Structure 1
Amino acid sequence: MHAASRDALSHSFVSLDAIVGDDVAAAATTGTELFEVVELLDGNRQLRVALADQAADAESRTRLVDDVFGGKVAGTTLDAVKAAAGRTWSTPRQFRTGLVAIGRRAIFRAAKAEDQLGQVEDELFQLARLLEREPRLTQLLSDATVDGDRRRSLAASVLYGKVSKYTEALVLQVVGRPEHGPVDDVDALVAEAAEFSGREVAHVVSAGELDDRQRQALAEKLGRVYGRDISVHTQVDESLLGGATVKVGDERIDGSLRGRLNRLRAQMV
C-alpha cells in the first residue's frame, strides 16, 4: 500500500476496534458483512471509485455509504465502512483491499474474544498444509474459470464441521476472491492471525512429531533469536531423517539430517 492508504488503514483499524469493542456478535457480524460489502464493490466499479474519490470531501463519501448501505447491514458494519470511506486512500483498489483487512480484523477480534484465536490460527495452518498435499483440490479452488460462489461452495463442503466458524469465514473470503493462490492466501491468514496476537509465525518441519514441551522450548529459543514472540506450527516429514527445518518470514534454517548430508555431499564434489 502507498503511504496514504497505510495511514487510512491504521486509522480504520482504530475505528473498528472502538466500534465493535469486545462484543463477539458485533465483531463477527461486522467482519462477515464487510466481506459482503467488498463483494458488492468488486461488481460495481463506479461505486468503488466514488467511495474512494479524493476529489470528493469525506462527508460526501460517508453520506454515499449511508445512501447505499443504510438499513442493509448492521449498524456496526455501516459505521466501519463510513470510517474507512472518510479516510483518504491512494486508489479505489487499495480502499477495497483495506475493507478486506478491516473485515479480517473484525473476525480476529471475535475469535480472540471467545478465546479461539489460537485455534483459528492452527486450523488455517493445517488447511494450508492440506492444500499442499492435495494439488487437485488446490487447482479447483484456484480455477479462474469457476465463479467465486462455486469455489466457496466447494471450500465450505471441505470445511464443514471440521473448523470454527471464524476459520470458515476467513477461508471462504480468500477462496472467493483469491489474491495469489489458495496455499499462499491461507498462509497469509495464518501470519495475520499471529500478528494480531503480537507474534510471528515459525513453520517447523521435523522428522518426528514434537510434543508440547518441545514446541514451547523451540518457541522460546526462536523468540530470543528474533527478539519477538513466535507462534510455532509444526508438520512431520520423515524424509528429513532427523532434526528439523524452521522458516520464519523469508528466512529458512535447515537443521535436518538430510540437509546436513546434502551439504556434505556438495562439499565432496
Structure 2
Amino acid sequence: MRGSSAKSLDDTLTAVTAVPGAAAAQVGAELFGIVSALDTAVAARRVLTDPSTEAEGKRQLAAGIFEGKVAADTLTVLRSAVSGRWAAGRDLTDGLEIAGVAAYTRAADEAGQGDILENELFEAGRVIHDSDDLRRVVSDRSVPASARTTLLQDVFRGKVSDSTLALLSQAAVARTGSFERVLEAFSRQVAAREDRLVAVARVAYELDDTERERLTDALSRRYGRAIQLNTVVDPSVIGGISVSVGDEVVDATMSTRLEAARRRIAG
C-alpha cells in the first residue's frame, strides 16, 4: 500500500500490537470475519473510507455495525482502521486482513510458536502444491470459498497449529490473488515480524544442519537481513542449488548449467 493507505495500515497494525497476547487469536478471527462482512457491504465500506466523512462518524458507524458482535479489543483495532484515510475502499478491507494475520502472528509468538507458524505455513503450502487434486480445488474460483476453507480444515486440522489453520483458511478465500500468492504474502508477513526474509532453496537432497546453517549465513550476509530458510527437495535439480528470495532467483543448479550449455552449442 502507498500514500495515505500505508499510513493508515501502520496505525492499524500499531493497534494490533496493543492487543493482549492471550486475546490476539480471537481478534484475528474476528478481523477476518469483519473483512468478509465488509467485502459484501459495499455501501458501508464506501462510507467508512469516504474522505469527506469525519473520523468520529466512521467510528460510530463501525461501532453500530459490529459492537456486541466482536470483542472490545477487536473493536478498538477496527476503530483505529476506520479513523485513517484509505486511498480505495478495498484498501480498508485489505488492511484489516493484514491486521488479522498480524494478530494471529502475535498469538503464535505469545505461545512460543512463532517459528512453528512460519514452518507450518511453508510445509502446508508444499503439501497443497504437490497434491494435484487439493491444489486444483483450492485454486478454483468457481468453488465457493466456504467449500475451499472447509476442505483445508478437514485436511490439516490436528496436524498444524490453530493459527496456521486459520491463515490457511483465510488464504483460501483468495481475496487479493491466487491461493498460493496470498499464502506466500502471509508467510512473508509472519517472517517479517523479526525483520527476516524468507528464502526458498531447491536442492537435490535434504540438507543437514551444517549445510543449512552455512547457506543461511551466506544469504544473511548477502541480503543484510536475518533469513528464514525453507528447503524443497527437487530431484530435477541434479546438483547445485536454486534459491529464491522474494522476486530474486539465484539458480546455480547443474540442470540449468547443462541447459545453458546446450543452448550455446545449438547456437
Tell me whether the two structures share a fold, i.e. TM-score over 0.5.
Answer: yes
Task: From 159, 182, 193, give the equivalent of 2:190.
Answer: 193
- For 2:195 and 2:43, the matched residues in 1 are separated by 37
| TM-score normalized with structure 2 length | 0.95
Aligned to 1:70: 67
Cα shift readout 1:216-269 (whole Å, capped 9, x = no counterpart): 211111111111111110010122112211111111111222222222222222
Kindly provide the amino acid, as one letter, of the partner of residue 235 in structure 2: E
Shift of 1:152: 1.0
Shift of 1:145: 2.2
Kindly provide the amino acid, as one letter, of the partner of residue 22 in structure 2: A
Contact 1:38 1:100 in 2 (8 A): yes
Contact 2:203 2:232 in 1 (8 A): yes
Aligned to 1:8: 8
Q: Does 1:221 align with 2:218?
A: yes
Contact 1:61 1:85 in 2 (8 A): yes
- For 1:268 and 1:249, the matched residues in 2 are separated by 32
Residues 119-134 of structure 1 aligned to structure 2 (within 5 Å): 119-134=116-131
- For 2:232 and 2:264, the matched residues in 1 are separated by 29
Shift of 1:93: 0.8
Contact 2:174 2:182 in 1 (8 A): no
Contact 1:127 1:186 in 2 (8 A): no
Shift of 1:179: 2.4
Task: From 120, 139, 143, give the equivalent of 1:142.
Answer: 139
Aligned to 2:243: 246
Shift of 1:146: 2.2
Cα shift readout 1:64-117 (whole Å, capped 9, x = no counterpart): 111111111111000000011111111111111111011111111111111211
- For 1:216 and 1:165, the matched residues in 2 are separated by 29
Q: Match of 1:37, SS?
A: helix
Task: From 15, 23, 26, give the equivalent of 1:26.
Answer: 23
| TM-score normalized with structure 1 length | 0.95
- For 1:54 and 1:246, the matched residues in 2 are separated by 44
Contact 1:243 1:257 in 2 (8 A): yes
Shift of 1:149: 1.3
Aligned to 1:233: 230
Kindly provide the amino acid, as one letter, of the partner of residue 140 in structure 2: D
- How many residue pairs get aligned? The number is 266
Task: From 250, 262, 266, give the equivalent of 1:265.
Answer: 262
- For 2:222 and 2:174, the matched residues in 1 are separated by 36
Aligned to 1:163: 160
Listed as ranges, the gaps of 5+ residues in structure 1 are: none
Kindly provide the amino acid, as one letter, of the partner of residue 249 in structure 2: R
Contact 1:31 1:104 in 2 (8 A): yes
Kindly provide the amino acid, as one letter, of the partner of residue 56 in structure 2: E
Contact 1:138 1:183 in 2 (8 A): no
Of 142-151 and 92-101, deviating more is: 142-151
Q: Match of 1:89, SS?
A: coil
Q: Match of 1:143, SS?
A: coil
Shift of 1:144: 2.1
Q: Does 1:47 align with 2:21?
A: no
- For 2:259 and 2:144, the matched residues in 1 are separated by 44
Aligned to 1:180: 177
Listed as ranges, the gaps of 5+ residues in structure 2 are: none
RMSD of the alignment, in Å?
1.3
Identical pairs, percent? 35
Contact 1:34 1:99 in 2 (8 A): yes
Q: Match of 2:165, SS?
A: helix
Contact 1:141 1:175 in 2 (8 A): yes
